[in-house]
Structure 1
Amino acid sequence: MKKILSALLLLSFALFFSQEKKPMFWQDIQNFKKLDQENAPPKDAVLLIGSSSFTKWTDVSDYFPGKTIINRGFGGSRLTDLNYYAEDLLAPYQPKQIIIYCGDNDFADNHELKAEEVVSRYKTFYKKIRKKFPNIEVDYISIKYSPSREQLWPQMKETNQKIEAFMKKEKNAEFIDITKAMEDADGNVRKDIFLEDMLHLTPEGYQIWAKVITPYMK
């Protein structure tokens, strides 16, 4: 009897910890799967993959009339998370274009992180995309300079420069630089296009993004 009780206790603990130790963003990915089950994702869409700047752009389709967009941004994600969930983020879809916004959370997660590491993470994800979609358009939006993360701007600037150089060498690939568009006449980052957290964008901020992104849209 004691052996049976011990076995049941061990099983209970195993089940408890298996439920507790879900990978970060696991639930977000399950939500995407549920959406795809409820409505089959359209073919030849523009697939957005990235972090909260996409997640919070809930009305993104309104900014690009006539475009079919699938938004698969999940808040707080880093390039490491895009790599971890690459199969889940890519396999269900047949897009004509992928646009990525991710990278600033990598630095927020580790202030000592070097630009080379973030660039390496991006290249890894890019290669995973190319393995599945050799010829579609793949674009990367530059890491924005959020006022709340000003101490990280030097690493972000270096990362943007290195990813831009990488993308210029690739076929069917573009680096979409939103930096200048988010500055005022004096070259300072406009704080008025950020929410109170000085991290996420206001609708006007997204209007600026949309104006820059539109020429790159397939």
Structure 2
Amino acid sequence: MVLALVSSVTDCKSYSKRDYFDTSFKCFAEPGWRDDSNFKKYIEKAWLPMRLLFAEDNAKIKRSDVVFAGDSLVHLFVPELMAKEFPGQSVTNRGIGGDMTETLLSRIEEDALILHPEKVVIEIGGNDFIQGKCLSLVQNNLLSIIQKIHSKNRNTKIFLIAVPPTRVKELNQIVPVFNLFLNQVARTTNNVEYIEVWDMMRKVDSPTLSDEFIRPNGDSLHFNEKGYELWGKKLRPYLQK
């Protein structure tokens, strides 16, 4: 439901206007989306309802050892897949389709940290770049997310998953730059690890999503179950410690 709504209010044809390598490109430094009316619709119809569901669930479960937070790529890591990849572990999903760094920053305390997790897994940023957000803004938001988590508990371990390749050229141009930043943050920040997935999810000789991970419905942004198997393989050594 949430992903369907996000797709319906996002103009996929606008990717060509989000080309960071175009000499006429101007990054977007405002809150929300370039299309403010659709952003308000998304918040009202998708983002807030999901957060209400999270609040109800958090009140029931109280705690979770591991919390995943982020956008639709996290959202689609459904409980059945998580149970398969992390058997016997207390793992909770707090992903929302359409989420950006700014919206995740605004909700991470109430949606994720309230569960007092020992480990937080984050994948975020792709939707920022769909909107042509200024790279420095996205980077600063990510640093603020880390700061907010560690202000609650400096011992919380944070795992930053690389934003994976898609089948959208404009995203595949800028995302590796952001991933380099994530890697550098992990190298210089205590209790932060970078989980590389871009390299194993892209085509061997092309910066685009490998055919083996393509979803059967023509989806150009998300990947199939094999992608989550890869995520599980990469994350298990860290989450089982």
- Quickly name the TM-score band, shorter chain normalised: 0.7 to 0.9
Task: Give the direction of change, closer, same or farther, for the CA distance of 1:90–1:204 in structure 2 (3 Å limit).
Answer: closer
1:121 pairs, out of 120, 141, 144, with: 141
Could you tell me the percent identity over the aligned residues? 23
CA distance in structure 2 between the partners assigned to 1:203 and 1:90 by the alignment: 24
1:61–1:68 contact (8 Å) kept in structure 2: no
CA shift, 1:201, in A, is 1.7
Residue 177 of structure 1: aligned partner: 196
Residue 36 of structure 2: aligned partner: none
What amino acid sits opposite 1:61 in the alignment?
A
What amino acid sits opposite 2:71 in the alignment?
S
Pairwise mapping of residues 1-218 of structure 1 onto structure 2 (< 5 A)? 23-24=43-44, 25-37=47-59, 39-43=60-64, 45-58=65-78, 59=80, 60-108=82-130, 110-111=131-132, 113-147=133-167, 149-186=168-205, 189-195=209-215, 196-217=218-239, 218=241
Task: Output the TM-score relative to the length of structure 1.
Answer: 0.82
Give me the CA root mean square deviation.
2.0
CA shift, 1:124, in A, is 0.9
1:79–1:118 contact (8 Å) kept in structure 2: yes
Give unpaired runs (5+ residues) of structure 1: 1-19
CA shift, 1:88, in A, is 1.2
Task: Give the direction of change, closer, same or farther, for the CA distance of 1:167–1:51 in structure 2 (3 Å limit).
Answer: same
Report SS of the residue matched to 1:171: coil
CA distance in structure 2 between the partners assigned to 1:32 and 1:175 by the alignment: 26
1:115–1:156 contact (8 Å) kept in structure 2: no
Residue 15 of structure 1: aligned partner: none
Measured against aligned partners, the alpha-carbon deviations of 1:2-61 in whole angstroms (never above 9, x if no partner) come to xxxxxxxxxxxxxxxxxx989451111111011123x32334x11101111111111212
CA shift, 1:191, in A, is 2.8
What amino acid sits opposite 2:137 in the alignment?
E
CA shift, 1:63, in A, is 1.0
Report SS of the residue matched to 1:143: coil
Give unpaired runs (5+ residues) of structure 2: 1-39
CA shift, 1:89, in A, is 2.1
CA shift, 1:94, in A, is 1.2
Paired positions, count: 194
CA distance in structure 1 between the partners assigned to 2:134 and 2:172 by the alignment: 12
